[in-house]
Each structure stands twice: as structure tokens, then as C-alpha cells.
Amino acid sequence: MDIAGSVVTFIVTWWLVLFIVLPWGVRQPDNPDPVHTAGAPERPMLLIKFGVTTAITGVLFTIFWFVADSGIINFRT
């Protein structure tokens, strides 16, 4: 797999995993401020979610790269 394909694969996988991780641990506030939307989470913890997303994507990308590079599944037919 070339560099451009690797970067694109990593970015697309990162975004997909981010949308899976975003709802984890979301709690609604007990007393929401009148200026905030009622559905806004109390503490979104985005930096932690970005780190978890990057770690999961790293594992998934490594597996995908190994499968593509070893020829277990041929993507070039």
C-alpha cells in the first residue's frame, strides 16, 4: 500500500471510529442552562475520545495494513 492510500485509509477509518466513540459516556445535565440546548452533554470529554479514537484506529489500520501487505486478501485484482 502506498503512502497516499495509507493516509486516506487512516483518515477515513479515524472518522468512522470517532462517530462510534462520540456517544460513549454522554450524560444530560440535571439543570440545563436556558442558553444551552437541552441535548448538549454535560462533559463531552472530547480529548479523551480523540485519544481513544486514535488508538482504536491505529489497531484497525495495522490489521488492515498487515492483511493488505501480506496478500491474505488481494485488493489489486
| 46-71 confidence digits (pLDDT tens) | 999 999 999 999 999 999 989 888 87
Residue 73 — φ and ψ, nearest 5°? -120, 125
Q: What's the pTM value of the predicted model, to 2 decimals?
A: 0.79
Rounded-to-integer distance, Cα 71 and Cα 30, Å:
53
CA–CA gap between residue 24 and residue 48 (Å, rounded): 11
Dihedral, 9, 10, 16, 17 alpha carbons, nearest 10: 150
C-alpha count within 13 angstroms, C-beta hemisphere, residue 71: 0
**CA atoms of 32 and 46, how far apart (whole Å):** 20
> Quick one: what percent of the chain has pLDDT higher than 90?
48
